[in-house]
Chain A
Amino acid sequence: MSIASRDGPIVRIEGLTKRFGPIVAVDRVDLEIARGELFALLGGSGCGKTTLLRMLAGFETPDAGRLFIDGQDMTDVPPYRRPVNMMFQSYALFPHMDVAANVGYGLRRDGVKAPEIAARVAEILELVHLQDHARRKPSQLSGGQRQRVALARALVKRPKILLLDEPLAALDRKLREATRFEMVRLQEQLGLTFVMVTHDQEEAMSMATRLAVMNAGRIVQIGTPHAIYEHPVSRFVADFIGIANILALPEGGWMALRPEKITLAAARPDLPQSVSGRIVDLAYEGDRSLYHVATEPHGTMIVSTANTSRAAGGAFSRGQQVWLGWADEAGQRLEA
């Protein structure tokens, strides 16, 4: 069994559906996740990403479809018999146990001998830099430390898949960025498969090897962060990921054009496509500036320029007449 399953995907989902009363939370989802991936489920609130993750963990029973983990049908297997572990958004640390007891909980349930539990807990605590906090209660830890305890607790059983529900949502911005890299490092070091749910596109883009964009219970696009950003298939994806100018094409249909693919100039640029317009709004963001330009054919378009020099606030000002230009291949034709 294990030999045959070595090559297949670690997760295979076929037509998975979950309803809550009249609401279809997850709607006929098909998905395959390969071994060693850091896979992200991305979408707004209520898109079904969390329900899908909870079905992987076994907390929700699907109404239709099958779910395979490492080649084995897990659709009706209870959570305590699945080879997966989850890191909860709230961390769900046991408040009456210290850090070591929290992390060792899963090993104790499996009947692992005490000396081995102690060794494995110590090893994993070292990995998340919490070796000096083993005797603390969760209430005596900072938010970032709690997050690492939750991570250690979910990793210590060496699950086939680590499920992460908004793993960084409760951290402040600075810590979130550092933790992102830390988690990718751990994932690569341990060679595990991570499946992560997030509403934060920046988080999904920067961490994931592949991601699925979800909307209304369905996966609307799956791909690498680069493919999703540069080749969105629909207006929804183009709009959801980053900023996109959605332009109507003369021959019908739509095109997504990213703000940084557009050249902003005072005179008509020597590019295949160009329009003129007037700057109606601008936002200085430090590393870049965003201009809202009112154009005749396309309405208000958003253009960004990189602030590579320290000269004050970019070269253009509100109300100024400007030209926008872009290459033919700069935009992505949308299917829907």
Chain B
Amino acid sequence: MRFVIGLPFLWLGLFFLLPCLLVLAIALGTNAPDSVPPVELGFSFKSFALLFSDDLYLAAWLSSIRIAATSTLVALLLGYPMAYAIARTAPNRRPLLLMLVVLPFWTSFLIRIYAWMGLLADNGLIEQFLRWSGLASNPGTILGTEWAVHLGIVYAYLPFMVLPLYATLEKLDDSLLEAAADLGARPLAAFLTVTLPLSLPGIVAGCLLVFIPAVGEFVIPDLLGGTGTLMIGKVLWDEFFTNGDWPLASAVAVCLLVLLVGPIAIFQRNQARSLEKRS
């Protein structure tokens, strides 16, 4: 019995905590290009110091946060009406719509991003369509721009925005909106004063679920973005595979983790507090 209860902790310890500690240990080591693995363990903050001394890393950080934030905002603006519409349809039709939201998960993430490469490429389907329809006579290539990165992130993470939003909107009691209307609130006022504040937990959850992975995203900027798109996930990859600097790459990973744990912790505490209040 005690073993069964301990199993999840064992799992977390082996496959989450231990790797994290390994990464931390590597980050504190020094680069040793000639040995295998190319690390000399130790207790040095050299790699961290380098992170803060070179503008490249700060620029990559800020650019990652900017791209993730705008993508999250776009995903919210797209996902909210979707979640709202699903929550408002007849209960027997909701499962179908929800299935459509998660349908992309049935195909590998990587393949879907490759598909976008084809769509966005020079003379790709989208460009051909724009020319054929006359919407733009000479559209530039989208692939390789930051637009493509935004598009990819919004596309890939939209379900993570829609699902938590749906979960809170679906619980919203219709009679609250009727009460608002009864007391003189036009539909927009009722939305702003009742629906929106009551769906705030879903907004926060959805934004975190999109923002956090988007900040560290590597595949999308690598495949859809160009050389001009600077994101911390790509920097990490380059340090590791191109430059072979394990400690520096690990230091980037540690910083990424620490910076993202902060907002998650705040969110968790707010969730716990609002649950306490409700009971």
| B181: contacting residue among A78, A95, A110, A154, CB under 8 A | A78
Q: How many A-B residue pairs have CB under 8 A?
A: 63
Whether A109 touches B198, Cβ cut-off 8 Å, given contacts A92-B175, A139-B277, is no
A79 contacts across to B, CB distance below 8 A: 178, 181-182
Write the nearest CB–CB distance from A20 to chain B, whole angstroms: 13
Interface size for B (C-beta < 8 A) is 19
Write the nearest CB–CB distance from B263 to chain A, whole angstroms: 22
Q: Are B197 and A96 in contact (CB under 8 A)?
A: yes
Write the nearest CB–CB distance from A242 to chain B, whole angstroms: 32
B277 contacts across to A, CB distance below 8 A: 137, 139
Q: Are A90 and B173 in contact (CB under 8 A)?
A: yes
Q: Are B184 and A95 in contact (CB under 8 A)?
A: no
Closest to A96 in B: B197
Comparing A80-88, A182-190, A268-276, A302-310, the segment that makes contact with chain B is A80-88
B273 at the interface (CB under 8 A from A): no
Q: Are B173 and A92 in contact (CB under 8 A)?
A: yes
| A110: contacting residue among B178, B184, B194, B197, CB under 8 A | B184
Comparing B88-96, B185-193, B214-222, B234-242, the segment that makes contact with chain A is B185-193
A333 at the interface (CB under 8 A from B): no
Q: Are A92 and B184 in contact (CB under 8 A)?
A: no
B77 at the interface (CB under 8 A from A): no
Write the nearest CB–CB distance from A195 to chain B, whole angstroms: 14
Interface hits, A97-133 → B, CB 8 Å: 105-106, 109-110
B125 at the interface (CB under 8 A from A): no
B278 contacts across to A, CB distance below 8 A: 95, 139
Q: How far is the CA of A88 from the CA of B182 in the complex (A)?
A: 10
| B184: contacting residue among A90, A96, A137, A157, CB under 8 A | A157
A88 contacts across to B, CB distance below 8 A: 175, 178-179
B173 contacts across to A, CB distance below 8 A: 90, 92
Q: How far is the CA of A84 from the CA of B184 in the complex (A)?
A: 10
A94 at the interface (CB under 8 A from B): yes
Write the nearest CB–CB distance from B192 to chain A, whole angstroms: 11
B266 contacts across to A, CB distance below 8 A: none
Q: How far is the CA of A92 from the CA of B176 in the complex (A)?
A: 5
- Prevailing SS type, chain B contact patch: helix
B180 at the interface (CB under 8 A from A): yes
B185 contacts across to A, CB distance below 8 A: 80, 105, 109
Q: Are A80 and B175 in contact (CB under 8 A)?
A: no
A57 at the interface (CB under 8 A from B): yes
| A105: contacting residue among B175, B180, B186, B197, CB under 8 A | B180
A181 at the interface (CB under 8 A from B): no
A153 at the interface (CB under 8 A from B): yes
Q: Are B184 and A106 in contact (CB under 8 A)?
A: yes
B99 at the interface (CB under 8 A from A): no
B197 contacts across to A, CB distance below 8 A: 96
Q: How far is the CA of A90 from the CA of B178 in the complex (A)?
A: 12
Q: Are A92 and B198 in contact (CB under 8 A)?
A: no
Q: Are A109 and B189 in contact (CB under 8 A)?
A: yes
Q: Are A80 and B179 in contact (CB under 8 A)?
A: no
B193 contacts across to A, CB distance below 8 A: 94, 105
Q: Are A157 and B183 in contact (CB under 8 A)?
A: yes
CB-defined A-B contacts under 8 Å, sample of 22: A59-B178, A59-B181, A79-B178, A79-B182, A80-B181, A80-B183, A81-B184, A86-B179, A88-B179, A90-B173, A92-B173, A92-B176, A93-B179, A94-B193, A96-B198, A105-B180, A106-B184, A109-B185, A153-B179, A154-B182, A157-B183, A157-B184
4 A-B pairs closest in CB distance: A106-B183, A109-B184, A92-B179, A92-B175
Q: Which residues of A contact B (CB under 8 A)?
A: 57-59, 78-81, 84-86, 88, 90, 92-96, 105-106, 109-110, 137, 139, 153-154, 157
Known: A57-B182, A105-B185, A139-B278. 5 other contacts (CB 8 A): A58-B181, A80-B181, A106-B183, A109-B183, A109-B189
